[in-house]
Amino acid sequence: MADFLHMGGYAAFVWSAYAISGVVLIASLLLPLFEKKKIIKRIKHMLQEDQI
Amino acid sequence: MYKWFHQLGSPPTFYRWSGRWLPWLSLICFVLFVIGLYGGLVYAPADYQQSDSFRIMYVHVPAAWMSMFVYMVMAISGAIAIIWHMKLAEIVMLSSAPIGASFTFLALVTGSIWGKPMWGTWWEWGDARLVSELILLFLYIGVIGLYSAIDDKRKAAQSVAILSLVGIINIPIIHYSVIWLNTLHQGPTVTKFDNPSIDTRMLIPLLIMAVAFKLFYGIVLLLRSRNEVLWRERRSQWVKDTLGDKTDG
């Protein structure tokens, strides 16, 4: 396990590359999901105003 | 075939169809990422020259491939949007830009992190591969910026399609830069399919990661396109029905 984390002495490079990739990919996934919630809220609000 | 294509282009059909496929795509993508990461970080043997630093390849290479693939999808759907006025193609073009920009950003950053221990430098302005990939990032940012800068969204979409079509010229430059101009970046190891100069145990995780990245793009593209479709069609009856029906995600 220690060997695995050590990455032949390149731990700082390998793990930072994977960490940045993970953050960017997860953010690209979450962003449209939050956006969807916002859009649905806005449309529902709009529909309610139409009814009044 | 044409009828199927035409139906898929209709917003409610697209919305329903994509909603049905998304959970399955996500599941397959997740499993591939787990297998690919295990393969790349554990199963693949250390490189005889680069030791374990080569493992950055498993995020760097798929990200770099996708940076070009997404650009081609964006430009081609831009062309379809201009020629056939297909709304869904326009949406695919617009939804692709931020994802492509993220992949390009990742390719540049992970490449830089790999370059430091291997080449002794984070960045080299004289390297054609590095600079053309940076130009790709600027093209994506240009597409996003141009679209938001023009108020008339019809005109904005047209201008963006033209910009991305013109920018296609950069793609072969990126691809062939390591062959034509022998500078810092190493040559291709995988795309020489007749005789790939890479160990099979290293290659298989890379291909799995490449498929996982491609599926990931598909998923985010569907999510973004669904949002755009929902908002554009907000006045239509099917959106009211869909939002009224709690069972549909």
Asked whether residue B150 is domain-assigned, the answer is: yes
| Per-residue model confidence as pLDDT tens digits over B83-142 | 988 889 999 999 999 999 999 999 999 999 998 888 888 888 878 889 999 999 999 999
Asked whether residue B12 is domain-assigned, the answer is: no
Asked whether residue B210 is domain-assigned, the answer is: yes
**Which residues from B are below 8 Å from A when comparing CB atoms?**
41-42, 46, 51-53, 55-56, 59-60, 63, 98-99, 102, 105-106, 109-110, 113-114, 116-117, 216, 219-220, 223-224, 226-227, 230-231, 234, 239-240, 243
| Per-residue model confidence as pLDDT tens digits over B161-195 | 999 999 999 999 998 887 777 667 777 766 555 56
Most confident listed range (A34-43, B121-130, B238-247): A34-43
Q: Is the pLDDT reported for residue B16 higher than 50? A: yes
Asked whether residue B48 is domain-assigned, the answer is: no
Asked whether residue B2 is domain-assigned, the answer is: no
E-strand stretches of B106-240: none
Judging contacts by C-beta atoms under 8 Å, the chain B residues touching residue A4 are 41-42
Counting other chains too, the contacts that B195-201 makes at CB distance below 8 Å and 24 or more residues apart are B199/B44, B199/B45, B201/B43, B201/B44, B201/B45
* Contact across the interface for B106 and A21, Cβ inside 8 Å: yes
B77: domain range? 23-43+54-191+200-244
d(CA A14, CA A37): 35
State pTM to two decimals.
0.90
CB pairs under 8 A between A and B: 86
Q: How many folded domains does chain B comprise?
A: 1
| Per-residue model confidence as pLDDT tens digits over B33-85 | 999 999 999 988 888 888 888 899 999 999 999 999 999 999 999 999 999 88
Question: What is the interface pTM, i.e. ipTM, of the complex?
Answer: 0.91
Asked whether residue B160 is domain-assigned, the answer is: yes
Asked whether residue B81 is domain-assigned, the answer is: yes
Interchain contact A1–B (C-beta under 8 A): no
Write the CA distances from A42 to A49, B79, B191, B196, integer angstroms.
11, 32, 47, 52
Q: Is the pLDDT reported for residue B248 higher than 50? A: no
Interchain contact A34–B (C-beta under 8 A): no
Judging contacts by C-beta atoms under 8 Å, the chain A residues touching residue B230 are 36, 39-40, 43
Asked whether residue B15 is domain-assigned, the answer is: no
d(CA B70, CA B58): 18
Cα Dmax for chain B? 62
pLDDT of residue B51: 86
Interchain contact A40–B (C-beta under 8 A): yes
